[in-house]
Structure 1
Amino acid sequence: MSDEKMFLLKCKECDAEFFTEGENNFYRKKGLHTPKRCKACREKRKAQHERSLKEKEQENILSNLQFEQAEETEMLLADPNTVLYIIGNGFDLMHGVPSSYYNFRDSMSRRNELREALEMYVEKENLWADFEESLAYLNDEAMLGTLNDWMDIFDVKEQHDDDFSAADFFMAAEAAMSPTQVIMRELPKRFRKWIDTLKPTVSNKPLEQIINTQSMFINFNYTEFLEIIYRIPKKNIFYIHAERRDKNKELILGHSGIANRKIDGNPRKLRSNQLRMKNQTTYDLHETAGYQLSNYYESTAKKSNVVIEANKETFMSFSDVETVVVIGHSLSVVDYPYFKEIIRNNRNLSNMKWYISWYSASDIKRVDAFAKTLGIQPKQIKLFKV
């Protein structure tokens, strides 16, 4: 066995041999302490530590919780005619459906042009954790910064030059803004294709003691698993963002339109004064690109107001709802308009009861922010763990 493959240490946890001479040299150069555990045991301890921190955070939040904990039977005792269930992606995940946006990411290869455009130009630290809102955090400055290079590539002349070509001018703008075109063109198609592949991988019904099949449902998912798994009549379900079985309707997703700090104001002011302006043509090119960016933000925004307007009667039918049961919904800001519309149409706001599912400490924080923003009193909310 070569020196490089000779193991120098034994793990104090599992007694396995580890740590080669090469690793020893690396640790010595970096001034690092010699490890006492092998890599597998170190990673196991790290995971345990992280889990312990999360548990402590959760215990701390629960000990100071302003919301009561609900029993499953409470929800089934209510009159089904006055109960509205709001179903989010957590519902599909509970039933073994690989429907997270991380799954959507993994359905594309690393070299896929849509994935490359998203991961290269979206500024959100973890774009797949809150994918829809992340669409509003495009790094437009990075794209605008390439305009001068594209001007040189397409040899864009000044507008007073006899050889000026409008075609070259607009090709330079389109080349710089091409990531936005890729996202607008490919995201709806790729997303629909992925949604069509989803199916449950478990046969049990974890929500059987919570769901009343005769109640009303707002389904934020595009899938029909409420109908298949729990035999909910289709007439009782409002597929608020369309459903995958209807091939004539585009599936609705997008950001709230208010998240990106650069949307407000004139798109012509998108940091143009900070970029290198060689002449008036350069300035005009930045203006043209700015308008294309504005079109991107508008195109990728979730048109909640349009959905609400098109479904006025449906929202009005929730006027006598006394109990709202939220299952697996992240309560993301992008969907606040729908909740506000439910509240606005209700005849007895002060007596509405809200039962909201939670899974992690971050969920409870979102419930708190949700309640404060929508003016729901803590005494009206009860939480239940899923």
Structure 2
Amino acid sequence: MNLFICGNGLDIHIGLKSRYINYREFLEGRGENIVNRLKAFKYCNINEEDMTWNDLESNLKLDYEGYIKEYLDLFNRPRNKPGVRDSEEKLRKTSDFGLSDFTNNIYQFTGELFWQWLVYMYNKEKIQSIKGKYDHNTSDLSHLKNNKEDLFINFNYTRSLEDVFEIQDKQILHIHGSLEKRGVNITLDDIINADAKMWRKIQFGSIDNNQDDIEDYINGLNISANNNYFNVEELKYDLIGFCNKSYKDITYNYSKLKDFIKDKKVDKVIIMGHSMMGVDLKYYENIIMPILNDSIWEIYYYNDNKEAIKFINKFSIPKDKVRLIAW
């Protein structure tokens, strides 16, 4: 049995405009200024236009140590100190500390707007066109068509495996969620209820925005703020609110991933367009490699094989058990 691990490179390869730059173009085409608002917040690094999804999720990490340090420098002073007449309201409206506004922007960016782009990008007409291209046995992905023997871990939110290659749902684990089966037939209801659907179906955010880490860090500072311009619990509340809107807890997926691949007779692992050494590396470290380390590995790559080589070296995969395939 083969185990296919599919990333965004597969969707790009079959013709979907599913890069991060395509999402940005969608937002700009609708007159959304949200990317510029996110770029203006200096405690996350969302500045590069040519980022990949992997880069984006890494850069959504909040520099909470830098944020807290500057926050304390500004607010951790007595209200009644002579010469300090700035009002608390004025201080809290400074552009550098607009965390509540940034949290709302992130919530839209990784939630409602992202869902709307997915259903716009993954439309019925486009999928039917792509499906026609792969409805014969001469394509480079003919081994996927009507595949009823193998297993698939899909890191994409799309259902291209099901809709284009007619692979059965039971063979596929959408590790971070996916569009509903009817997603290709988008309705007005889908748009109106995009926010609720998004958070029910999709995991999108940074693996580093963990509220427990932030709470531990603040508690370790032993801040005394009696009669000062801020409250420690309010600071925690604001930061945790951001984490709740921007955190992707991949450890939540460990058990279902383990159950999906354990006790299966997987002879070969085939990685197609997935960034193994990025934010998803922990899946390999903690679940996939401990179970499937003795398997044969085939890795499809774009442009260069540097990441594949790093992956092979990291896990000491023998040369006679790995094959690199240029896409």
Tell me the TM-score normalized by structure 2. 0.70
Who is 2:39 aligned against?
119
Q: Which residue among 278, 302, 308 is the counterpart of 2:248? A: 302
Closer, same or farther: CA 353–383 of 1 in aligned 2, 3 Å: same
Q: What SS does the aligned partner of 1:354 have?
A: strand
8 A Cα contact 1:188 1:250, kept in partner: no
Letter in 1 for 2:270: V
The alpha-carbon distance between structure 1 residues 177 and 383, as it changes in their structure 2 partners (threshold 3 A), is same
SS at match of 2:325: strand
Q: 1:263–1:322: structure 2 CA closer, same or farther, 3 Å change rule?
A: farther
Match of 1:358 in 2: 301
Kindly indicate whether residue 104 of structure 2 is the aligned counterpart of residue 182 of structure 1: yes
Structure 2 match to 1:17: none
Structure 1 residues 258 and 322: CA distance shift in structure 2, 3 A:
farther
2:321 corresponds to which letter in structure 1?
Q
Per-residue Cα deviation, 1:330-383 (whole angstroms, up to 9, x for no partner):
22421123223122234xx33x1110111112xx11112222333433432211
1:255 Cα deviation (Å)? 2.2
SS of alignment partner, residue 16 of structure 2: coil
1:293 matched to 2:242? The reply is no
Report what 1:281 is aligned to.
228
Q: Which residue of 2 aligns with 1:218?
A: 153
- CA 1:374–1:292: 2 relative to 1, 3 Å: farther
Amino acid at match of 1:281: N
What CA distance in whole angstroms lies between the structure 2 residues aligned with 1:258 and 1:117?
19
Aligned residues: 282
| C-alpha contact 2:209 2:247 (8 A) present in aligned 1 | no
User: Matched residues in 2 for 1:143 and 1:264: separation?
Assistant: 11
CA shift for structure 1 position 147? 8.4
Shift of 1:141: 4.2
TM-score using structure 1 length: 0.60
Say whether 1:321 aligns with 2:266. Answer: yes
Go from structure 1 to structure 2 and tell me whether the alpha carbon gap of 1:194 and 1:140 turns closer, same or farther (over 3 Å shift): farther
Change (3 A) 1:370 1:125: farther
Matched-pair contact (CA < 8 Å) for 2:157–2:202 = yes
Contact 2:155 2:174 (8 Å CA) reproduced: yes
Report SS of the residue matched to 1:333.
Answer: coil
Structure 1, residues 229-275: CA drift from partner, whole Å, max 9, x if none? 2121222111111111164833112223289xx969614689x99xx
Q: Determine helix, strand or coil for the equivalent of 1:217.
A: strand
How many Å apart are 1:223 and its aligned residue? 1.1
Q: In the alignment, what sits opposite 2:321? A: 380
Correspondence 1:29-40 to 2 at 5 A: none
Match of residue 94 from structure 1: 13
- Go from structure 1 to structure 2 and tell me whether the alpha carbon gap of 1:173 and 1:309 turns closer, same or farther (over 3 Å shift): farther
SS in 2 for 1:218: strand
Q: Is the CA contact (8 Å cut-off) linking 2:3 and 2:266 kept in structure 1?
A: yes
| CA offset digits 1:101-126 (Å, max 9, x no partner) | 11111111386353223222232552
Q: Does 1:227 pair with 2:162?
A: yes
**Distance between the aligned counterparts of 2:89 and 2:8, measured in 1?**
45
Alignment-derived partner of residue 344 in structure 1: 290
**Equivalent residues in 2 for 1:34-49, closer than 5 Å:** none
Structure 2, gaps ≥5 residues long: 82-87, 182-196
Change in Cα spacing, 1:113 to 1:234, as seen in structure 2 (3 Å) is same
1:107 and 2:107 aligned: no
Change (3 A) 1:231 1:173: same
Matches within 5 A, 1:143-222: 145=70, 158=79, 176-186=98-108, 187-199=110-122, 200=126, 202=130, 203-205=132-134, 206-211=139-144, 213-214=147-148, 215-222=150-157
1 CA distance for matches of 2:80 and 2:256?
Answer: 46
Q: Does 1:254 align with 2:205?
A: yes
Which is higher, the Rg of structure 1 or of structure 2?
1
Conservation of the 8 A alpha-carbon contact between 1:98 and 1:198: yes
Query: In the alignment, which residue of structure 1 is the partner of 2:186?
Result: none
Worse-matched range after superposition: 131-140 or 192-201: 131-140
Counterpart secondary structure, 2:177: coil
Residue from 240, 246, 265 that aligns with 2:175: 240
Amino acid at match of 1:178: S
* Residues 267 and 287 in structure 1, CA contact (< 8 A), matched pair in contact too: no
When the two chains are superposed, the root-mean-square deviation of aligned CA atoms in Å is 4.2
